[in-house]
Amino acid sequence: MSNKFISHEKLRDWLEDLSARFEVWAPVNTGQDAKGVVVYRPFVRDGALEFARKPVESAKHTVFPRSETLVNFKTGAKDGKPALELHVPEDPPARAVFGLPSCDARGFQIFDPVYNGSGTQGLARDNYYLRRRNATVLIVKACSKVLNTCFCNWVGGGPACTEGADVLATELPDGFILAQVTARGEAALGSALLAPASDSQEKQARKLHEEAGAALCAPPDLSASVSALRGKFDDSAFWEAEASKCLSCGACTYLCPTCYCFNITDEARGVLGARIRSWDACMLPLFTMEASGHNPRTGKIQRLRNRIGHKFSYYPSLHNGRIACCGCGRCIKSCPSSVDIRRIVTDAIGITGTAGLKEQKNG
């Protein structure tokens, strides 16, 4: 399929058209002015869409909700014996997420082998994740500006990377050029409102991609991260120094597009109840609390070591070298103590004077 174009004036018409077939989500400014927080919300025609600033949160919750009911239950008795009625929620509607950055789409690729049963850990298929994942079209918006916290190119991505995207949208001065990437993306582009993209628009898009890519600093070689972090495991002086500023607030884990841990709780009132899955965060002290009362990670040093080790050493060891971080930089940007994951990894490897930690052109 040739590339399509939608003008800024017609964008809301197209998203409304899309809403007939999908539950559409898009970045929205939730504040009263240009400083408001940008987050993903279900599309409404008169909503405050915003594409100029990167959303504070990742798009993870559009596929993996912060909290979801796995099963509703009712307890009772039948023929004098205890009885349990179970009701599994209906399949979620098909979704289209418009305007997420490329790093957020790549984040789902780190989820996939963990939840689709293809990983090397012998994990079961998670049908709750998979039914949403398979019903979601990801319309990535290429980044035209990079932040000084962005480092997607350190981990194999880039501002216009199509890995994980179903459609790549590039914003031009007068609208968006839309390039189909996967077969799933075709369903989102079947609209009479879309015009064929011109050669000149294609050229402008390629130029923007090149400029954004060039604004990122050259990436360091992280190929030694797996062995370097294993080698640092018992180096408590190293972890004490790296974790000294951490407040154990958990913001880094909650905002991360690649953190996939969850907790399950049963909540009941009378005879009715629900089994609920909610995000959990390994940076929080109770994450590893065991039923016996023993907690193997009571200190923030152990928790930070686990978080960094998981992303840059243990996960790649199990998944063909793939690093479990997409370089979105949210954990750096939103950390109240300025803990910088790039610095920890490069310190562990022994890379000094890292080019990637310098100010980036558009930072």
Residue 143 binds ligand SF4, judged by CB under 6 A: no
Nearest to 307 by CA among 333, 321, 292, 288: 288
Residue 327 binds ligand SF4, judged by CB under 6 A: yes
Residue 212 binds ligand SF4, judged by CB under 6 A: no
- For ligand SF4, which is the closer residue by CB, 4 or 310? 310
Q: How far is CA 62 from the centre of its chain?
A: 9
Q: Which of 5, 100, 330, 344 binds ligand SF4 (CB under 6 A)?
A: 330
- For ligand SF4, which is the closer residue by CB, 8 or 245? 245
Q: Which helix (H) or strand (E) holds 228?
A: helix 225-231
Q: State the binding string over 228-267 for ligand SF4 (x if CB under 6 A, else -).
A: ------------------xxxxxxx--xxxx---------
Residue 336 binds ligand SF4, judged by CB under 6 A: yes
Cα–Cα distance measured from residue 194 to residue 348, given in angstroms and rounded to the nearest whole number: 49
Tell me how far, at minimum, the Cβ of 103 lies from ligand SF4, in Å.
Answer: 7
b/e map 25-48, b = 16+ CB within 10 Å:
bbbbbeeeeeeeebebbebeeebe
Q: Is the CA virtual torsion 109, 114, 116, 117 positive or negative?
A: positive
Measured N-to-C along each axis, helices 236-243 and 341-349 cross at an angle, to the nearest 10 degrees, of 160
Residue 309 binds ligand SF4, judged by CB under 6 A: no
Query: Candidates 59-67, 190-198, 260-268, 319-327 — which segment interacts with ligand SF4 by CB under 6 A?
Result: 319-327
Tell me how far, at minimum, the Cβ of 148 lies from ligand SF4, in Å.
Answer: 13
- For ligand SF4, which is the closer residue by CB, 212 or 246? 246
Cα–Cα distance measured from residue 108 to residue 165, given in angstroms and rounded to the nearest whole number: 10
- For ligand SF4, which is the closer residue by CB, 22 or 40? 40
| DSSP character string of 84-151 | EEEEPPPPPPPEEEEEE-HHHHHHHHHHHHHHSS-STT-PPP-HHHHHHHHTEEEEEEPPSS--TT--
Tell me how far, at minimum, the Cβ of 264 lies from ligand SF4, in Å.
Answer: 23
- For ligand SF4, which is the closer residue by CB, 178 or 215? 215
Tell me how far, at minimum, the Cβ of 116 lies from ligand SF4, in Å.
Answer: 20
Under 8 Å between Cβ of 316 and 324? yes
Residue 339 binds ligand SF4, judged by CB under 6 A: yes
- For ligand SF4, which is the closer residue by CB, 204 or 306? 306
Give contact residues for ligand SF4 (rule: CB under 6 A): 246-252, 255-258, 283, 311, 325-331, 335-337, 339, 341
